[in-house]
Amino acid sequence: MLQTAELYKSMGIDEEVYAFGEDILSSLKERFESIDETAQYNQLKVLRAMQEAKVSEACLLPTTGYGYNDLGRETLEKVYAGVFHTEDALVRPQITCGTHALALALMSNLRPGDELLSPVGKPYDTLEEVIGIRPSKGSLAEYGITYRQVDLLEGGGFDYEAIRKAIGAKTKLVTIQRSKGYQTRPTLSVERIGELITFVKGIKPDVICMVDNCYGEFVERLEPSDVGADMVVGSLIKNPGGGLAPIGGYIAGRKECVENAAYRLTSPGLGKEVGASLSILRDFYQGLFLSPTVTAGALKGAVFAANIYEHFGFPVIPNGTEERYDIIQAITFGKPEGLLAFCRGIQAAAPVDSFVTPEPWDMPGYDAKVIMAAGAFVSGSSIELSADGPLKPPYAVYFQGGLTWEHAKYGILKTLQEMKNCGMIRL
């Protein structure tokens, strides 16, 4: 029988790279234990929500047509509300992605004359057109909804004075992005989000606080809805889909906020009552069930990568020892060769399309070529092992996911092997 090291070798990881990885790993025991403890807590949280909502075999069956009285859909939404400790939730395959879920939450809860405030700087790229920061058809701006932004302070702190000044009579909704996304600012912990919400509500109690929860679900024991958020919003092809959901988004929150979103998603008067689930519910349930451990695996991969690349002097955000609040790892290589080698490694480690070589391409909306590596079961799913970065200085890669820790580990070792082979590092 082949030993693990030999099997690695037969799959392109030499002894030196393997041994180096094991060495780094031996220093991460406590770290991984704490990640596992969080996963244990969140697994119980999800399980309890499923039991309390009385998920039954009938909930997993397909529905068609209007989807009136769709037991599985209604129960799943109860489960999400149970997990996030909210009054209600909207969890639908008709919500096509995270941007759609966020746009829906915003457009349905804002009215002409209202103002939207981001007290945490510029939101995720795709929201620029939703808000109208970059003009677009059907943006909030076109409907007479204005936007204000307060940037974070130099060190990543909240600019409380400026936020106080920015909240006015028109301020209806405050949007808070938990994950740094593809920026260099720190990701916000749930605790810090809670402090910000308390401050905002102290000034204006009836303002709606919405959190873009993408990439953050199940990384901590608490979710933003546990610390005062009126709505949490995310994508099912990230953490909460557990790698099984093939599409979808969710909005969990106060009844009125969720109802507004449902009336916008389907139609005024119909709201949550329609929207057949087809045969997707089993994947939604099972994906949510697996999500705490899948998220833990992705986190371990991120921590492992940070510790490996930090060792070679590459700037990593977050660093090897920092507390984690999302699953994204940024590594700066300073040279295009590093970015390309890293992406080659991730691609070569994939279960799907491992034989293709990722090439930089002109992606719409970007001013430089972008390289992306992913060999996913669900197209574009970023809870699966994936990496991307713009081919321009400082040549940083943003890396995330891994449906299992074992796969993330192999992928990262593969990137290291590529880096070694092209002379970017010496072991």
Please state, in angstroms and as integers, the Cα–Cα distance from residue 186 to each residue in 322, 326, 346, following that order: 11, 10, 24
Nearer to ligand PLP, 183 or 307 (CB): 183
With beta carbons less than 8 A apart as the criterion, state whether 189 and 220 touch.
yes
**Residue at token pair 């799959």:** 11
**Residue 291 in contact with ligand PLP, rule: CB under 6 A:** no
* Residue 213 Cβ vs ligand PLP, minimum distance, rounded to whole Å: 8
* Residue 162 Cβ vs ligand PLP, minimum distance, rounded to whole Å: 22
**Residue 227 in contact with ligand PLP, rule: CB under 6 A:** no
> How many CB atoms neighbour CB 162 within 10 A?
14
Q: Which residues touch 166 (CB under 8 Å, ≥6 apart)?
A: 117, 119, 148, 150
* Residue 88 Cβ vs ligand PLP, minimum distance, rounded to whole Å: 22
d(CA 406, CA 298): 10
* Residue 424 Cβ vs ligand PLP, minimum distance, rounded to whole Å: 28
Bridge partners for 210 per DSSP: 175, 231
Q: Is 160 exposed, middle or buried (0-12, 13-18, 19+ CB in 10 A)?
A: middle
By CB under 6 A, which span of 114-122, 174-182, 285-293, 311-319 interacts with ligand PLP? 174-182
With beta carbons less than 8 A apart as the criterion, state whether 130 and 102 touch.
yes
* Residue 98 Cβ vs ligand PLP, minimum distance, rounded to whole Å: 2
Q: What order of strands is seen across the sheet that includes strand 329-332?
A: 316-317, 329-332, 396-400, 386-390, 370-374
Nearer to ligand PLP, 18 or 215 (CB): 215
d(CA 112, CA 378): 38
By CB under 6 A, which span of 70-78, 158-166, 177-185, 408-416 interacts with ligand PLP? 177-185
Nearer to ligand PLP, 235 or 266 (CB): 235
The site for ligand PLP, by CB under 6 A, has a size of 12
**Residue at token pair 């995310």:** 234
Site string for ligand PLP, 178-217 (x = CB under 6 A): -x-x------------------------------x-xx--
The structure tokens listed for 268 are 């005024």
* Residue 214 Cβ vs ligand PLP, minimum distance, rounded to whole Å: 3
With beta carbons less than 8 A apart as the criterion, state whether 217 and 400 touch.
no
**Residue 346 in contact with ligand PLP, rule: CB under 6 A:** no
Q: Single out the residue of 38, 63, 86, 99 in contact with ligand PLP (rule: CB under 6 A).
A: 99
CA gyration radius, the chain: 22
**Residue 94 in contact with ligand PLP, rule: CB under 6 A:** no
Nearer to ligand PLP, 297 or 401 (CB): 401
**Residue 98 in contact with ligand PLP, rule: CB under 6 A:** yes
**Residue 126 in contact with ligand PLP, rule: CB under 6 A:** yes
**Residue 177 in contact with ligand PLP, rule: CB under 6 A:** yes
With beta carbons less than 8 A apart as the criterion, state whether 180 and 322 touch.
no
**Residue 375 in contact with ligand PLP, rule: CB under 6 A:** no
Binding region for ligand PLP (CB under 6 A): 97-99, 124, 126, 177, 179, 181, 212, 214-215, 235
